[in-house]
Structure 1
Amino acid sequence: MGRAWGCVPRVRRPVRPGREVGRRCVVPIRVLVVDDSVVIRRLLVQALESETDVEVVGTASDGARALLKAEQLRPDAITMDIEMPEMDGVTAVRELRRRGVRVPIVMFSTLTARGASSTLDALAAGASDYVTKPSNVGSLAEALSRVAGELVPKLRALVGRGTRPTALAPAGARPALGAAPARATVPAPAPAPALGGLRGVSVRRTPAVLPPAPTHPVRAVVVGSSTGGPEALSRVVGGLRRPLPVPMIVTQHMPPLFTAQLALRLDRLGPSTVVEASDGDVLRPGHVYVAPGDFHLELAGTATAARIVLTQSPPVNFCRPSVDVMVRSALSVLGPHLLGVVLTGMGQDGAAAAAELVEAGGTMISQDEATSVVWGMPGAVAAAGSTHRILPLDVVADAIMSRCADSGAFTVGGAS
């Protein structure tokens, strides 16, 4: 189950309802760690328990034991290996969801084609997100740093738990195991510069929606997503009842190999032709181009002969590929003739470029909070007042088809 990192002393701490950090009360995220490798379990325990707001309440060596531990311990979140004896991680996720367990489940995957395929299976079964196991690291300290750096922010976002100045919760007070966790939302932003007459507002109260978009014909659809994105993209691409008269370009935050597997799966879901983008691809109507992991997807050429350029310039918003890079590049080639869509995801990648898109005269759609796994990216767009519509996931595909319906005369790639 991956490279051994050496023996890591197991850390045991009593379960506590809260931890005092300075003057703040930190309510720890209670995590169940599931992996058949003793070394990996200990690595995860040490990495997680190094954080003041995370507490490992139990471990399990396979999916069957995980089902029992989840019922007994009622964790806030679960980390789940994929390949395990007795019951694998994908089966365990499916069974947990069947039993009504709604806590976030983060898969712990290998960075291989097989690992990518299994991870997408787990996401389809109901897993919330994934992280990749550290490989080619020179020390235990580096392995711990990588695991904590990738896993902990995702747990915080998925659980929606943070530090807050409240009294400690009563001992033993736990939410029901099947209860949905609090969704992560972006905090109320500081007042933003005016955009289309509207100022940034708190997405917790009154999301800012722009007046109806200008009626520029759409030449391309640009879509950004992150946490929860693979399943959201499946719903959107699968919901397109006919090929779009314009191309769709997708940036999903994923590593290499994973994006290729994602494109293969999306290609099987509907009438659109879905491919992992290659350098030099000419955009064609009815095609969906997925940015490959570790490459920014940019556009070059002209509005009627736009082509894809893949670059490895520095990450933007800590991301490569980046939604901001993709959208800004598309704006430079296609101008206001763009429909932008921001789906579920952590962070704020895409928010800055969304503001530029609507300022240029393009149309912007954001997924709503209720159907997002994490309302970070779409919430940031809404908070800035940079969206024309905030929609549930199930109607996003129809909204895209409707907006593109009158764009037949504005094709790209030389199609008529």
Structure 2
Amino acid sequence: MVVDDSAVVRGLVSRWLAEAPDIEVVSLQRNGRAAVEAIDETNPDIVILDIEMPEMDGMTALPLILRKKPGIPVVVASTLTRRNAEISLKALSLGARDYLPKPEGQHGLVSADDFRQQLLAKIRALGMPRPGLARKTQAAQVSVPTPVRPDVAITLRPASSVRPRVLVIGSSTGGPPALTRLMEELGGKLGGIPVLITQHMPPTFTGILAEHIAKASGRPAAEGRDGEPIVAGRIYVAPGGHHMLVQGGAEPRIRLDDGPPVNFCRPAVDPLFSSAAAVYGPATLALVLTGMGQDGANGARSIATAGGTVLAQDEATSVVWGMPGATARAGVCSAVLPLDQIAGRVSQLLMGLRT
């Protein structure tokens, strides 16, 4: 189901989805009220929900949709204003699975193409299978075949014998609520180590995420600035549009890089992890949380090779087990844990307890 008050957006999105052989649109609605009323009849697998709409906006419709169809993935779409970024993060805390920045203004075809690619990727990652779907019979629903993934035994490796001096975290889809919860649990247990976070997010969103993490953890948190010293006790969030790396020297510093995307992402997790491994070596502790794709797996290998410790979120508690799954299957993790057990394990490692 696609919900947007703009007929142009509804038409464009439905045309894009119609071109995808594995996706079907079952409903196009112009406001939240119409979407809520159509949920039972159309029974969508996933909802793309605009935030700003007349009659009933996305934030009002979200809990009503989730009440009518508990567990349905909802992706909120908004333009990149501070107000909409705040609303989008609020929507994630209320049960939306992901967010989608909308193209606007004079950005033209490049932004529209990026929006299209992200839209298709998020639908495929979050959409549930619809048994018996043989072909498209009408315009409008999103149906995605279940990916076939053979069972792969996960090989764990021992945690580092060196007490961590830095905590690096990577996340994507489902990451903001997971990060907020984790930082709330870890805030008083972090001791004197710095925390560096890369969450796949556009500009504006990352600054607000840092504010939310500061409130949750009770620790100073902000977007990393190029050349800024990495100080114990502080939390640094990679700013949207820039890779955040650790630069070595007598005093480790933040280095921002606006080079090409890595794993189709900027910021990406791999550059953060690999650079942290190069600087902190076996004293690096990394967490790979929920997210689609494989970003972070190569960087986690670098950390393991350097003798550091890698933990991954388990499949059951991940919104999408892409990034943590790829890392776990790479055989570089010391543990694969439910989200509510990660803070406790991190606390043990920070105290020098390996088991």
Question: TM-score scaled by structure 1?
Answer: 0.78
Q: What is the match of residue 83 of structure 2?
A: 114
Query: Aligned match of 1:97 in 66, 76, 79?
Result: 66
Greater strand percent: which structure? 1
Given that 2:186 and 2:343 are in contact with CA atoms closer than 8 Å, whether structure 1 keeps it comes out as yes
Residues in 1 aligned to 2:118 and 2:190: alpha-carbon distance in whole angstroms: 36
Q: Tell me, yes or no, if structure 1 residue 156 matches structure 2 residue 127.
A: no
Deviates more, 1:367-376 or 1:286-295: 286-295
Greater helix percent: which structure? 2
After superposition, the Cα gap between the structure-2 partners of 1:57 and 1:381, relative to the gap in structure 1 and judged at 3 Å, is same
Q: Tell me, yes or no, if structure 1 residue 278 matches structure 2 residue 247.
A: no
Match of 1:56, SS state, is coil
Residues in 1 aligned to 2:255 and 2:48: alpha-carbon distance in whole angstroms: 36
Q: What is the match of residue 132 of structure 1?
A: 101
Q: What is the RMSD of the two structures over their aligned residues, measured on CA atoms?
A: 2.5
Q: What is the match of residue 309 of structure 1?
A: 255
Q: What is the match of residue 267 of structure 1?
A: 214
Q: What is the match of residue 290 of structure 1?
A: 237
Q: What is the match of residue 226 of structure 1?
A: 172
Larger Rg: 1
Q: Partner amino acid for 1:274?
A: A
Residues in 1 aligned to 2:262 and 2:107: alpha-carbon distance in whole angstroms: 26
Q: Partner amino acid for 2:309?
A: T
What CA deviation, in whole Å up to 9, does each residue of 1:254-296 have, x standing for no partner?
A: 0111100111111111222221111122222221110000111
Q: What is the match of residue 26 of structure 2?
A: 57
Residues in 2 aligned to 1:237 and 1:243: alpha-carbon distance in whole angstroms: 10
Q: Partner amino acid for 1:259?
A: T
Q: What is the match of residue 279 of structure 2?
A: 333
Q: What is the match of residue 153 of structure 2?
A: 206
Q: Tell me, yes or no, if structure 1 residue 87 matches structure 2 residue 27.
A: no
Given that 2:291 and 2:320 are in contact with CA atoms closer than 8 Å, whether structure 1 keeps it comes out as yes
Query: Aligned match of 1:360 in 300, 303, 306?
Result: 306
C-alpha deviation, 1:137, in angstroms: 5.2
Residues in 1 aligned to 2:74 and 2:145: alpha-carbon distance in whole angstroms: 14
Match of 1:155, SS state, is helix
C-alpha deviation, 1:160, in angstroms: 5.4
**In percent, how many aligned pairs have the same letter?**
42
After superposition, the Cα gap between the structure-2 partners of 1:142 and 1:292, relative to the gap in structure 1 and judged at 3 Å, is closer
Deviates more, 1:236-245 or 1:251-260: 236-245
C-alpha deviation, 1:135, in angstroms: 2.4
Given that 2:190 and 2:233 are in contact with CA atoms closer than 8 Å, whether structure 1 keeps it comes out as yes
Task: Note the residue ranges of structure 2 that are not aligned, 5 or more in a row.
Answer: 136-142
C-alpha deviation, 1:361, in angstroms: 0.8
Question: TM-score scaled by structure 2?
Answer: 0.90
C-alpha deviation, 1:241, in angstroms: 4.6
What CA deviation, in whole Å up to 9, does each residue of 1:128-153 have, x standing for no partner?
A: 111111124576x6665333211011
Task: Note the residue ranges of structure 1 that are not aligned, 5 or more in a row.
Answer: 1-31, 172-180, 189-201, 408-416
Deviates more, 1:249-258 or 1:261-270: 261-270
Residues in 1 aligned to 2:325 and 2:39: alpha-carbon distance in whole angstroms: 31
Q: Partner amino acid for 1:362?
A: G
Q: Partner amino acid for 1:116?
A: A
After superposition, the Cα gap between the structure-2 partners of 1:222 and 1:150, relative to the gap in structure 1 and judged at 3 Å, is same
Q: Partner amino acid for 2:313?
A: Q
Residues in 2 aligned to 1:241 and 1:153: alpha-carbon distance in whole angstroms: 33
After superposition, the Cα gap between the structure-2 partners of 1:127 and 1:332, relative to the gap in structure 1 and judged at 3 Å, is same
Residues in 2 aligned to 1:392 and 1:319: alpha-carbon distance in whole angstroms: 25
What CA deviation, in whole Å up to 9, does each residue of 1:285-337 have, x standing for no partner?
A: 221110000111111133x6211111112211111111110011111111111
Deviates more, 1:93-102 or 1:125-134: 93-102
Q: Tell me, yes or no, if structure 1 residue 300 matches structure 2 residue 247.
A: yes
What CA deviation, in whole Å up to 9, does each residue of 1:1-56 have, x standing for no partner?
A: xxxxxxxxxxxxxxxxxxxxxxxxxxxxxxx1111122221121112212111111
C-alpha deviation, 1:342, in angstroms: 0.1
Aligned residues: 346
Deviates more, 1:99-108 or 1:142-151: 142-151
C-alpha deviation, 1:99, in angstroms: 3.7
Given that 1:47 and 1:147 are in contact with CA atoms closer than 8 Å, whether structure 2 keeps it comes out as no
After superposition, the Cα gap between the structure-2 partners of 1:259 and 1:380, relative to the gap in structure 1 and judged at 3 Å, is same
Given that 1:158 and 1:183 are in contact with CA atoms closer than 8 Å, whether structure 2 keeps it comes out as no
C-alpha deviation, 1:354, in angstroms: 0.7
C-alpha deviation, 1:406, in angstroms: 3.9
Q: How does 1:68-83 map to 2 (within 5 A)?
A: 68-83=37-52
Match of 2:188, SS state, is coil
Q: Partner amino acid for 1:356?
A: S
Q: Tell me, yes or no, if structure 1 residue 248 matches structure 2 residue 195.
A: yes
Residues in 2 aligned to 1:182 and 1:363: alpha-carbon distance in whole angstroms: 36
